[in-house]
Amino acid sequence: MFMTRVAIAASFALLTLATAAPTGSAFPNRLDERQSVEEAALRFLRAFENLDMPSFISCFAQDATVFFPVPEPPQRFDGKAAIRRQFDQVFTAIRKTSINSGPPYHRLNPENLAVQLVGTNAAIVSFHLRNSERIGRRTLILERVGGAWLIVHLHASNVPIPLQSPQQTTPNAAASPGSRGLRPTTNSR
């Protein structure tokens, strides 16, 4: 009797694990989703590097919101039209100070890019952009809309790079030459 109960319990446990655990085919789908989100984020960054407004603004949902980093205005920008107007000013400033007369006008090399899937239709992407003066912290919240991943919120903030003695080290201290915040103060390739 005891062995029968053990056999039934073991069978039930195996059945529960088999139906609850992701199958081998579920992992590639999750990896595919993560890759699809990362590609959307990189498409956004390439359009920003090239100052290609049509491609850039198409990365945003109609009701998207953005918090810009300093020196931009501190209020939240609501909706694609408001976001476009503010980025028009950012793009103009970058074109004026860029050493390049054509695309790419600046380089955005995301460091420590992380993709977090939230359910099946939402994702968070976070990364750093670094230049000689600051670390740009960026968070994108994306939603799958009609099969495409669109930015529903962008939060951008900058922190100055602290002065350090040669003996001090910080996590992820390797700088990417040419990385920029939203408005670079110097341009290099």
Residue 14 placed within a domain: no
Mean pLDDT by 10 residues, the chain (189 residues): 41 36 51 95 98 98 96 93 97 96 96 96 97 94 96 96 63 42 39
Distant-in-sequence contacts of 4-9, Cβ < 8 A, 24+ apart: none
pTM listed for this prediction: 0.72
Residue 182 placed within a domain: no
**pLDDT value of position 135:** 95
**pLDDT value of position 30:** 81
Report the CATH number at residue 85.
3.10.450.50
Residue 36 placed within a domain: yes
**Total domain count, the chain:** 1
Q: In whole angstroms, what is the distance from residue 175 CA to residue 189 CA?
A: 13
Q: In whole angstroms, what is the distance from residue 182 CA to residue 70 CA?
A: 9
| Whole-Å CA distances, 38 to 31, 44, 106, 175 | 10, 10, 20, 21
**pLDDT value of position 189:** 30
Residue 132 placed within a domain: yes
Residue 91 placed within a domain: yes
Residue 183 placed within a domain: no
* Structural domain that includes position 99: 26-160
**pLDDT value of position 171:** 53
**pLDDT value of position 5:** 42
Give residues with Cβ within 8 angstroms of 34, minimum separation 6: 115, 117, 123
Residue 1 placed within a domain: no
Residue 178 structure tokens? 């040419």
Residue 185 placed within a domain: no
**pLDDT value of position 72:** 86
